[in-house]
């Protein structure tokens, strides 16, 4: 199994600012993903973070709003840009290795935008 850490664990931000969330995995993984969980809701996939190339975004999510980096096989960042109160959510990083049936999640970053 993989152990995933995220920083920060929570933050309170002002409208119009940006926040970068870091995701670190303790071993090399094949796939990394970013999800959003709005209050009281299920998880929605934002994008797949691809190592060495641009992320693959799901419908409704764009690179200008959620730029993603993945410089190596164990690390990824998600930036929430020009934040508004509607961006208040938990953002979760996940990863899977060669066995795509095993996907592990980080503890999440709880973001509140005022």
Partner 1 sequence: GNSVTQMEGPVTLSEEAFLTINCTYTATGYPSLFWYVQYPGEGLQLLLKATKADDKGSNKGFEATYRKETTSFHLEKGSVQVSDSAVYFCALISGSARQLTFGSGTQLTVLP
Q: Site residues (CB under 8 A) for partner 1? A: 31, 33, 41-43, 45, 48, 92, 94, 96, 100-108
Is the sign of the CA dihedral 95, 98, 103, 105 positive or negative? negative
- Cβ distance to partner 1 smaller for residue 75 or 104: 104
| Pair of tokens at residue 100 | 């795509």
Closest CB 31 distance from partner 1, rounded Å: 5
- Distance (Å, whole) CA 100 – CA 27: 15
Closest CB 69 distance from partner 1, rounded Å: 18
């Amino acid at each position: 199994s993989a152990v995933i850490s995220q920083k920060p664990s929570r933050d309170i931000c002002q409208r119009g600012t940006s926040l970068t969330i870091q995701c670190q995995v303790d071993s090399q993984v094949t796939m990394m993903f970013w999800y959003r969980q709005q209050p009281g809701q299920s998880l929605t996939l934002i994008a797949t973070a691809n190592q060495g190339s641009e992320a693959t975004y799901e419908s409704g999510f764009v690179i200008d709003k959620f730029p993603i980096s993945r410089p190596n096989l164990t690390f990824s960042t998600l930036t929430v840009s020009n934040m508004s109160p509607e961006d208040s959510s938990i953002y979760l990083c996940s990863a899977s290795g060669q066995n795509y049936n095993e996907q592990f999640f980080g503890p999440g970053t709880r973001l509140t935008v005022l």
